Amino acid sequence: MTDGKPILAVERGGAADSLAARPKIVGARVKRTEDARLLAGKGTFVDDRRVSGLLHVAFRRSDHSHARIKQIDCDDARGMPGVVAVFTAEDMASVNAIFATSRMKDYHATAITALARDKVRYVGEPVVAVVAETRYLAEDALELINIEFDPLPVVIDPEEAAKPSATLLHEEAGTNVLCAREFRTGDVDQAIACAAVRVSGRFRFRRKSPLAMENRTYLAEYDAGRDELTLYSSTQVPGIIRDALSEALDIPGSRLRVVAPDVGGGFGGKASLYAEEILVAFAARRLGQPVKWTSDRMEDLASTSQGFDQIVDAELALDAEGRALSLQADVIGDVGAYSIYPWTAVIEPVQVVSFLPGPYKIPNYRGRVRGVATSKPPMGPYRGVGRPTSAFVTERLMDMAARKLGMDPVALRLKNMIQPNEFPYRIGSGIVWDQCAFTECLDAACEQADYSALRARQARARAAGHWFGIGIACYAELTGIGSRISVAPGMPINTGTETAKIAIDSTGAITAAFGVASMGQGLETTLAQVVAEHLGGRVEDIRIIQGDSAAVPNATGSYASRSAVLAGGAATLAAREVKEKLVRAASHLLEASADDLAVEDGKVTVVGTDRALTFRQLARAVYLEMGRIPSDKREELTSTRTYDPVFGTSATAAHLAVVEIDPSTFEVKIERFVVAEDCGRLINPMIVDGQVHGGVAQGIGAALYEEVVYNDEGQNLTASLVDYIIPTATEVPSIEVVHIEKDSPTTLGGFRGMGEGGTIGAPAAIANAIADALSPFNIDIFELPVSPERLFRLIENATTDRKESTHGHEA
């Protein structure tokens, strides 16, 4: 086993440190509490919910990329037996449009409605909703709907769409450029003028789907007697959806609840508001019956938010010793047809320029970005958000520079990295890194992989004619960000706080409620560990409530690698407070000084004696056995605490990929993949390893296979899993994980947040490994994914060029 060092449970010392406990449960490989139901087939994903009188929705979606809706004829569908209702935008005039607003200048919000009104702007956009007794019947009825479209000029190429003369998708915006921003530090032009070495390229990272295994599903139940609406949603952000639906439907939050039960993966694709959520909620209220929509995979690929899709013209300039002098980049991000709620169209493309300088000291920086609307599903947050592209560009430039300078790529990186004694360090885009383990991660990855032995092996492999490459990528990400930084610039929603509500009830049972929402990452286990640690309880006794907008007054959900940091921090604060209350109650009941009490394993003990009270006994004394505690000393065993890490923290990693390319099939075989990562203090190393494995697998998909392809007419050519290819067990190698556990100095508990990183580093490392393997041909990788076909063309062109230029010389 190579994934990390064994985690030793820290033995407790004597009485002295029993209150100021060193972590024991935090850091342990606790097996997951979620597993029992999921392994038995007893999970409750939204589609599993059994409700009597349930109606089913099917959507007639646009098959035009950009067109005016002239007329919709639903009469035949309405008359079909089994059909309960048919809705178009006209029927939804009472529903308010939602806008992802932002204070950022040069930004244009776009109206989000459940069904297209007047115009359609991408293939797959919902136009008509049919509600029927079964899904089969609802889908049958779709065929009876006639929509007359008046096609408009196609807006599909982001560079064309950015031109002033382009056809507009949103006339009221006056431009397709929905956002624009520029970061500047120093004087790039002067630095370039002095540079000894310059490397540049036009980089392209293609469009990607998050592709969670569970398709999006929404089920709304309306209680007419109480005027209460509950939406069960496969969402990462039940709190955000609750607030948005409250605005769309004019329902107060007290009568509107959004629940995310078991959610089958998210990866960002379930972190935004969707038209179908509005429709289902609206329809349940209108019809007074429960209503459900379950996406099929084609709809998922055609309408779920997508990721990446940036064109980056970038240049890195260095001095003769390999010190980076400047970096400049011009980015065009294809943000799709609408500015997504709540993140806005800014989220992906601006992150690219925010993170381009990465972990390096680059004194002069200029990053310019434009987010351009085209006829595709909206761009939304996807695992890594912008940073996979920044890492791809910067890390490729580093390798290109190393080659030009004749330096080893590891040595060049170490030379330019922010050194351990140089923190905090402000990079050219304005991001400040706290104590990040940049050099430590790179060293650890090289050590784990035995880098020098790998290079020796490469020399032998090359001599034998093998295409064998080694690629490295280093990156840093902001995680667990607090209230002083917006997840997307100018966004009016606070994503920087998290509330925990912990209560011990009169039976002694512990319930801890949060606003976060697990989509598979095991928060029920990790948060129970944090609560148990700081409360002195047992993990198995703690019930975690999450994924429910009603659990705490203000909630958003899980995204941006925030849950461990923010919910972990809130859990720590609230658990400590409840523990203090337990100690005060026990002190009175046991007639012992609080200093002599230890709280552990669900009981409070007078240290050095066998006198103890269990939480259950304490709870009975506090709540039920009147008179045991004087009323002026009686405190409810509850605490609600909010945590705000203010600026947040950062996580970092170095990835190392070893590849060999098959010269006959152009298949890239990943022989080894090493990750050395620092996510601060680990809550559960088993779960962290799992997050790294899964993130890297998605990064491998992004590097080699996954691409949403639109043709010139704006038709999605990859709307099935036969065409949109994700890695299977045979494409993903065994992944070696090394943990550099550097406590974050800026967060409670030292957690740094993780979960996205695997997808940030892997594409860049693999791109570098492929370029390294093909360096004898002088091939650089500028475009991801590197499908076998792209690789074939690159090699074919390079060898043809070489033949031609050789012939040229001879002539």
Partner 1 sequence: MAKSVSISITVNGRAYRHDVEPRLLLSDFLRIELGLTGTHVGCEHGVCGACTVLVNGDSARSCLLLAAQLDGAEIMTVEGLATSGGLHPVQKAFHDHHALQCGFCTPGMLITAVDLLKKSPLASDEEIREGLSGNLCRCTGYENIVRAVRAAADALKSENQESAL
Minimum gap (Å) between residue 205 Cβ and partner 1 = 19
Q: Which of 12, 136, 447, 553 binds partner 1 (CB under 8 A)?
A: 136
Count of residues in contact with partner 1, rule CB under 8 A: 55
34 belongs to the binding site for partner 1 (CB under 8 A): yes
**Closest to partner 1 by CB, 477 or 689:** 689
CA angle 378, 650, 338 (to 5 degrees): 10
**Closest to partner 1 by CB, 320 or 729:** 729
Give the separation between CA 556 and CA 559, rounded to whole angstroms: 9
Minimum gap (Å) between residue 693 Cβ and partner 1 = 3
Give the separation between CA 378 and CA 398, rounded to whole angstroms: 32
Structure letter (DSSP) for residue 353: H
Structure letter (DSSP) for residue 50: -
Q: Which of 15, 48, 509, 646 binds partner 1 (CB under 8 A)?
A: 48
Touching partner 1, residues 745-784 (CB under 8 A)? 758
Piece in contact with partner 1 (CB under 8 A), picked from 173-181, 251-259, 346-354, 722-730: 722-730
Q: Which of 7, 19, 43, 157 binds partner 1 (CB under 8 A)?
A: 43
- At residue 417, what are phi and psi to the nearest 5 degrees? -70, 150
689 belongs to the binding site for partner 1 (CB under 8 A): yes
Minimum gap (Å) between residue 524 Cβ and partner 1 = 12
Touching partner 1, residues 201-240 (CB under 8 A)? 211-215
31 belongs to the binding site for partner 1 (CB under 8 A): yes
Q: Read out DSSP for 635-652? A: --SEEEEEE--TT-EEEE
Cα–Cα distances (Å) from 659 to 71, 182, 773, in that order, read 55, 36, 7
Helix (H) or strand (E) holding 294: strand 291-294
From 238, 195, 174, 141, select the one nearest 518 (Cα to Cα): 238
Cα–Cα distances (Å) from 86 to 131, 275, 279, 302, 777, in that order, read 6, 16, 11, 22, 60
Touching partner 1, residues 319-358 (CB under 8 A)? none
In a 10 Å sphere around its CB, with 0-12 CB exposed, 13-18 middle and 19+ buried, how is residue 279 labelled? Answer: buried
Cα–Cα distances (Å) from 416 to 44, 124, 395, 528, in that order, read 50, 46, 12, 41
Minimum gap (Å) between residue 260 Cβ and partner 1 = 12
504 belongs to the binding site for partner 1 (CB under 8 A): no
**Amino acid at residue number 300:** D
**Closest to partner 1 by CB, 45 or 392:** 45
Minimum gap (Å) between residue 142 Cβ and partner 1 = 15
The bridge status of strand 510-514 relative to strand 542-545 is: parallel
Q: Which of 10, 12, 13, 39 binds partner 1 (CB under 8 A)?
A: 39
Structure letter (DSSP) for residue 45: B
695 belongs to the binding site for partner 1 (CB under 8 A): yes
**Amino acid at residue number 277:** E
**Closest to partner 1 by CB, 214 or 399:** 214
Question: Which residues lie across from 458 on neighbouring strands?
Answer: none
**Closest to partner 1 by CB, 322 or 694:** 694
634 belongs to the binding site for partner 1 (CB under 8 A): no
Minimum gap (Å) between residue 242 Cβ and partner 1 = 22
**Closest to partner 1 by CB, 54 or 168:** 54
Minimum gap (Å) between residue 317 Cβ and partner 1 = 37
Give the separation between CA 85 and CA 77, rounded to whole angstroms: 9
In this structure, are residues 751 and 689 in contact, taking their beta carbons and an 8 Å threshold?
A: no
59 belongs to the binding site for partner 1 (CB under 8 A): no
297 belongs to the binding site for partner 1 (CB under 8 A): yes
Q: What count of other Cβ atoms lies within 10 Å of the Cβ of residue 330?
A: 17
**Closest to partner 1 by CB, 2 or 94:** 2
Touching partner 1, residues 151-190 (CB under 8 A)? none
Minimum gap (Å) between residue 306 Cβ and partner 1 = 15
Minimum gap (Å) between residue 247 Cβ and partner 1 = 29
Q: Read out DSSP for 162-224? A: TSTTSPPSSGGGTSSEEEEEEEEES-HHHHHHH-SEEEEEEEEEEEE----SSPPEEEEEEET
Binding mask 376-415 for partner 1 (x = CB under 8 A): ----------------------------------------
Q: What count of other Cβ atoms lies within 10 Å of the Cβ of residue 189?
A: 11
Piece in contact with partner 1 (CB under 8 A), picked from 179-187, 194-202, 503-511, 516-524: 516-524
Q: Which of 696, 748, 766, 774 binds partner 1 (CB under 8 A)?
A: 696
Residues at the interface with partner 1 (CB under 8 A): 31-32, 34-36, 38-45, 47-48, 50, 136, 211-215, 262-265, 267, 296-297, 519-522, 686-687, 689-690, 692-698, 720-722, 726, 728-730, 732, 734-735, 758
